[in-house]
Amino acid sequence: MYVFVKENEQERTFVNEEEINRLLEENSDPDDFKIKEILQKSLSKQRLEPDEVATLLNAKNKEQWEEIFHAARTLKEKVYGNRIVLFAPLYIGNECVNDCEYCGFRISNKDVIRKTLSLDELRNEVKALVSKGHKRLIVVYGEHPKYSPEFISKTIDVIYNTKLGNGEIRRVNVNAAPQTIDGYKLIKEVGIGTYQIFQETYHYPTYKKMHPRGPKSNFAWRLYGLDRAMLAGIDDVGIGALFGLYNWKFEVMGLIYHTIHLEERFGVGPHTISFPRIEPAVGTPIAERPPYQVNDEDFKRLVAVLRLAVPYTGLILTAREPIQIRKEVLKLGVSQIDAGSSIGVGSYSETDPEVVKKSQFILGDTRTLDEVIYELLRENYIPSFCTACYRAGRTGEHFMEFAIPGFVKRFCTPNALFTLNEYLNDYASKQTKLLGKEKIQIELNKISENQRSKIIEGLEKIDKGERDVRF
């Protein structure tokens, strides 16, 4: 299974295109009873099988989709409660040797200004992020020889060791090129969180067309990149597809097959799944007119189906999307979002009139972190910067031991309240602080008396100046 054999120019992998197409065809006209049956399985917190996912993807009328949306909202509340984890992207460099047709960073794009942060510039970026209240980052690198495992490790070490007042970055996730096992081991040593690799598209002919040159043109090397990460001891990995390159239903199925593959080989699936849509980018015509553009309604559908298909996997919604769509999709099972984001290299610490030319694409939501937190509070969410599970060793298979019985909610709500209280005391605007303190009290009233006293004790420690209190 893991020896790549060429057949008609296509590597044989765990993504079976013929089977995916067959399942989508065979389940193209689902009846109400079958959909209800699948939703009940999902609500019992069982991961769905490919034929069940194909059935949901082919729901045929408004009533069926309303049932799917309702189930997705219910399942998210069961597993994660009403918390939303917040992070920010930090682009370290945009130099790249690949020539991906849809990407602003591709090597042939002459409109992009190339930039790699020096270590001093990196420290300034981190301080700018910390000064706003951020605790969690996803660091992003182009694929280039200078972005070696040694370079990645050094930059992450700098991030962890850059402090400002009460603030610090407590979790650094990585979005970078696939590595060798030895390369992953080197990166793991500095204490990363999740390692993300997006396959972009699981449809092989589309993949080859969109990645004509560079290391990324090797479909199988990328597809099995997270296998090597797991073999190197990185047990939190994230997968994703770029929606708009090929049929959205096929891509959802590809994500499910990837999940199942990791579960079968390593005993644990991906920690997160991302589902970005193609957004405009400087000097990139295909990004203006995606070949399989996903409309807003289908975007909501694919998120709801993913939530139901993988109950214990975090779903990441990015600031690529416009504000209104973010608000709507949050209700369908999303557990993580970025906020206060800027994706131009060096753009957090300096105002740069050329920021768009240093960016991979154009953001749809440019609100500040405080604005996003205020809106989340108004919508009855608990904004969270929690990193307790990661630093307590509750990752990978061990995380699932806590998650599957539903214990994550027991840990996550207290830790979300602790990190929210830190933010309110150190960084929030007056209106956000007032609303946030009210929200904490409302949430405390929902918690059992035994647990409540311990949480109040932690909140009081934070009010007195202690930081990084964990439950």
The predicted-structure confidence for 90-134, as pLDDT tens digits, reads as follows 999 999 999 999 999 999 999 999 999 999 999 999 999 999 999
Across 415-419, average pLDDT: 95
What contacts 89, CB < 8 A, 6 or more positions away? 137, 138, 139, 140, 175, 318, 338, 341, 343
Strand 314-317 with 83-93, pairing: unpaired
Least confident span in 194-203, 212-221, 334-343, 443-452: 443-452
Q: How far apart are CA 74 and CA 64, in angstroms?
A: 15
195-221: pLDDT as tens digits: 999 999 999 999 999 999 999 999 999
How far is it between the farthest Cα atoms of the chain?
67
Strand 83-93 with 136-141, pairing: parallel
Reported confidence tier of residue 449, pLDDT bands at 50, 70, 90: confident
pTM over 0.85: yes
Give the right CATH number for 82-398 from 3.20.20.330, 3.40.50.2000, 3.40.50.300, 3.20.20.70. 3.20.20.70
pLDDT of 470 higher than 90: no
* Percent of the chain residues past pLDDT 90, beyond the cut: 86
Q: How many CA atoms lie within 13 A of 440 on its CB side?
A: 25
239-271: pLDDT as tens digits: 999 999 999 999 999 999 999 999 999 999 999
Are the C-beta atoms of residues 310 and 259 closer than 8 Å to each other? yes
8-28: pLDDT as tens digits: 445 579 999 999 999 999 999
In the chain, CATH 3.20.20.70 sits at: 82-398
Angle at 285 between CA 284 and CA 286, to 5 degrees: 95
